[in-house]
Every structure is written in C-alpha cells, then in structure tokens.
Amino acid sequence: MVRKHPDGDGRNDGTEDSWVLDRRSVLQLGGIGIAGVGALGTSSGVAGAATNCADGPFERAYSGETIVLSELPSAETLDPTASVDRSTNPLAPLSETEREARRALLEGQQPSRNAQRADAVPQRPDGDRLRVGTEYDGVNAEGTRGGVPSDSQIATGWGEHIHALNRQVAVIDKRSGKQRLKVRLEDLWEPVIPEPEGGFVSGSPFVFDPRARYDRNRDRYVLAAVQFQQGIAADGSIIDREEIEERADGPGRDENEGSTTENDPRPPKGYFVVAVSAGSDPTGKWYVYRLPPEDAEGPDNIGLVDYPALGLDRDALYLTQNFFPNDGSDVRVSMVTLDKATLYNGRAVTAHHFDNLDNPTDGYTDFTVQPALQPFSGGRDGTYYMVNSVFPEDQDAPLASTLTVWEVTDPVDDPALECFVVNVDPYTTPPNARQPNTETRIDSVGRRLMNADYNSATGSLWTAHATAIDWNGDGTLVSAIRWYEIDPRSHTLRQSGIYGEPGRSYFFPTVGSNGDTTVIAHNASGPATFPRMDVAGRTTDFVENQLEDAEVIEEGESRYDYGEESDVMRWGDYNGVSVDPWTGRFWAVSQYSPEENVPPEAERRDPYHTRVAEVSFGRWPFSDR
C-alpha cells in the first residue's frame, strides 16, 4: 500500500455557499511553528517483531533533567495573593490542611454565570440541565508573545490548573482564576535542548503544539509538545516548516516533486518533548525529557514533527505525531510508549517506538492518531486505546465511513499494537467557517479528531471531529460536529450524532467523559456569529444519538483577522477539557474573539482571548439554579 499525505479531500473556495470537491492544501493541515535541536538518548535494545499495523516496537532509553517551574528565568509571579494564606511565600506548595480547606470551599461555592444562551434549533439542543459554574479568562493573546493559534489545553488538579498554549504555560488558581505563575514554553525543556553548532536559526529553541493532562490516578501534571530545529540549505536559505510541508508527498503531487535535500549542510530536525511534575504542586519540581519521533537509529528525526497528541493509562504515557520527512517522501504517523513509573521518578525512561502506523483497510490513510486519557485502566494488565479518522487516498472519492481503533497491551515490558476498523456513517472534510463583517474565514482544520477520552464507568471510548453538512438540502455546506461513543472491545459503534445548525459552523470538538456525563467543548461562528466558545453534552440516560443540552460560554464580539495576507485564519487548533479530581465536574478552555478589531495592516495582530469554565449536568451539589 502506497502511503499518501492526507491533505484533505476538499478545498473551500472562500465561502460556505460554494463547495468544490478538490484537494485541500497541506499547509492548512499542519500545526504551527518552529523549534530547536540537540542530543538524543542512548539505544538500549533492538527491534522486536513487526506488527501488522506498524513497524516495531523499537526499544530505546532516554535520560532527563530536573527543573523547578517557579525558578525558570522567564517565570513571572503574577499574583502573590491568588492562593489561600500565601503572603509569605506565594509559590509554596499546598499543605494537606490547605488542600482540605480548598476542597471544602469548592463544595460550598455558589456558581457564577454570565454567559448567554443560544437560540434553540432542532439540531442544537436547548435543555435545562447543563450548568456553568465558575468561569474566567485564561491566558489571552497579549500574554503569549504572539502565539497563533492558541492550541489551548487545561490540566486540572486539586487546587490549580495548568493552562498550556502556544509559547506559554500558566499556573492558575482554580478557585479565583488568578494566574499565579507563567513561564515560556521552551524554558521548560531548556536543559535537554542543547544549542546546535552555529546556534539556533531563530535565536532560541522553538517549542509548539502543547498538550496538557492531569493524571488523576497519580496526582501528577503532564505536558508534551514538539520542538523543531530549522535547517540550513546548501544555498544558505532557512529550511522552515513551510518548506518541509511543500516537499511532502501528497495526493495530487508527483512523488518526490519537492526540492532536493541531499546537500543540506544542516537538515531540519524534530523531537518530542515531555515534562512531568514531581508531585502535586505544579509550581515546583518537574522532570523533563526529549526524544525523537521514531526509532532513534538513523536519520528518522530529519523533518517536521507536527500535531502531537498525549495520552496515558495506569502504567504508561503515549505520544503520537504526524511526521513530515525533509526529503519529500510520504508523511507518516508514529507512536511511542513511555514507562510512567520511571518518568515520575525522574530516571532514564524506557521507550518503545512504533513507526509507520497503517490501518488494515486499503485506500484509507491514517493521520492524527489520538491516544486516550485512560488513567485507571490499561497498562500491564489491560488494554489501552487510540483512535483516528481516516483520509481516502482517491481524491475523487472524498467520503470516509470508518475510524481506526488501536489497541496497545503490556506497554512497558513487551508492548504489542493491533488495529481495527470501526464502521461509521460517512463523513468528509468541512468547509472553513464564516464570520461577520469580513470575507476572511476561520480554519476548521479538517476532519481530524481533536482528542479521545476513555470512560472507565461505561467502558466507552469517546471522540469527535468536524464534517461538512448540508442542513437544508440546498447545497450550502457548513461545518458540523460528528461525535462518537465506541465500544473498543468489540470495535463497534455504540452511538453517534451530528451537532450543529443551518447558517452557523461548529468546529474543534474536544470531548471529556466521566461517570454518567460527556461534554464537548467547541467553537462556533457564522455570518451573524462572531467566533465564540460553546460547550454541549449528554448524560447516559438521555435519548441515544442525541446531545442533551448546549450552552454558550463566551460570545464573540468582533471578527477575527490578524492579516498576514491570508484569507483563512488559524484559530484553534484544538481545545481542552479536564475532569476535576475532587468534584468530578469538567473544566473546559477555548478561544473567543473579544471586542477589539485591529486592522489587518496594523503592526500588531488582532487578539484572541481564552475562557476557562466549569460545567456539569443537573443539580450542583450545593445549589440548584
């Protein structure tokens, strides 16, 4: 089977009123940014037997370093009074007495509400059970050194959130919303990113596409991202992300059509970077690591590591990514498992690489494999799950009707990887989203899945993506959300639904599922709707294949257009959802467009703002609004 880059199966011509089935540009499917380079870990094993779904596993070991978040050079103590009783040392870890007091405070808190409910239409549920409690702004564009898109993530612990986004990581007091500490994203991994000969092309390492998780089983925060070291070509020009993507082999392009790379004096390289907190205090000690995206032997990290994903189970962490080789060959997907026990103790970690992930169905290409958040199962004695949507290789047949589910067993000692097909209703690449007062569109980032969450109570794997829908049958397509509940053991679909409405696009669905509740944080915009943040969801006793309720978390107040001679604006590229370890409620983070219009020709960009909101269904434990 010849692998091709899944660069989409349709291209939006700039409107939602017209849709031409064509190839979507590869440049609109990548992540963002550039990063740095340095030394690798050491080989500690040999390749095992290849699976039918991938090459590998290849066993390697990587050493790490230790940092203290509050002591990094860029650390900003933003509000010394944000936490309870911290006047003498605002960054000190919470004592158990303080944590118990904070838990009691959360239980007695009256939820605040200032969001506006959207109008009800048949495709958009308007129930009366989804409630929004505490909410506040997270890190906004002005505080990110210009990071676009935001790629906001949230990891919620007992007293604090980690809010990770492009170029910054912030620690936020969960109760008050005050930012206690903020650091530059690349500073977390500075000890494991040695400066290459000749220096960094961009002056410093570039780390981007952050992912953040909270391990409720072990009370640890986990961060992952990718680092890209720009290369230098034979003519002295910089080999950046865009150059590598243009070299990549994809549908509609001749193989090896890209420029030659044989004489590049310094080829570009990409890496995973991972950080785990040493304890429950996110401002304290962290263990940091860097590793290549594929088997460490040979030049397998020469290229762009893009759109990483992070998952975990009882015994391991999981990283996946889309890899754009520098030589213009086929884009490929890889995955690595990491021993959680050694990571959480700061020791050299055993990793198992699986390369060239390939689903069992001819004609479909895998892209953006999402590892589940599965802290209480899997591991040595169970099964861990990953999932992805697929991309048809035939550009004249843009519809797909399957998902790929991946199973990992014994990830630490003797990992095995299997892949299975789940049949679903047809889906395709969505158009970009309209917004008022401009012809500029919001990039919906295609059909890729945003994340995956495993619900231990129901044994279900939940995920979602955007797709194109013609609600009225008149040829007008908008982006809508297709969500799935999968039985991963039988590789069958339990239920699925379409969520949206005519005249408005819904995109970037990020799913959280816990107990009897599932929520989807997402964005919406349209000709009469500025880009905003929404949350929808359902409970297990609701009608199958339907969402139960939806709420607008924060209305957009202006069009979003940061210029740069583009008619499509990068917005997401994903959102964040985290389960509160104490209350079981959900915290979501996403973007909205504030009441500020900066002209596209101005020297500064049109800003986005982010919003953090607590959501739950039914009666709150302490009050029923």
| Pairing mode, strands 316-325 and 303-312 | antiparallel
- How do residues 89-107 score in pLDDT, each as one tens digit? 223 334 444 444 434 433 3
Q: Which candidate, 495, 496, 510, 503, places its Cα nearest to that of 553?
A: 510
- How do residues 156-194 score in pLDDT, each as one tens digit? 999 999 999 999 999 999 999 999 999 999 999 999 999
What is the C-alpha R_g of the chain? 23
**Taking 80 as the threshold, does the pLDDT of residue 256 lie above it?**
no
Residue 407, helix vs strand vs coil: strand
What is the DSSP-derived secondary structure letter of residue 98?
Answer: H
Question: Checking phi first, is residue 282 left (phi over 0); if not, alpha (psi -120 to 50) or beta?
Answer: alpha
Residue 349, helix vs strand vs coil: strand
How many CA atoms within 13 Å lie on the side-chain side of 393?
15
Cα distance between residue 196 and residue 36, in whole Å: 8
CA 203 to chain CA centroid, Å, is 26
Where are the chain's structural domains? 1-79+178-356, 123-149+428-619
Mean pLDDT (the chain, rounded): 81
pLDDT band of 416, cuts 50, 70, 90: very high
- How do residues 377-402 score in pLDDT, each as one tens digit? 999 999 999 999 999 988 778 899 99
Q: How many residues comprise the chain?
A: 625
What is the mean pLDDT of the segment spanning 267-286? 95
- pTM for this prediction: 0.84
What lies within 8 Å, CB to CB, of 300 at 6+ separation is: 292, 293, 294, 355
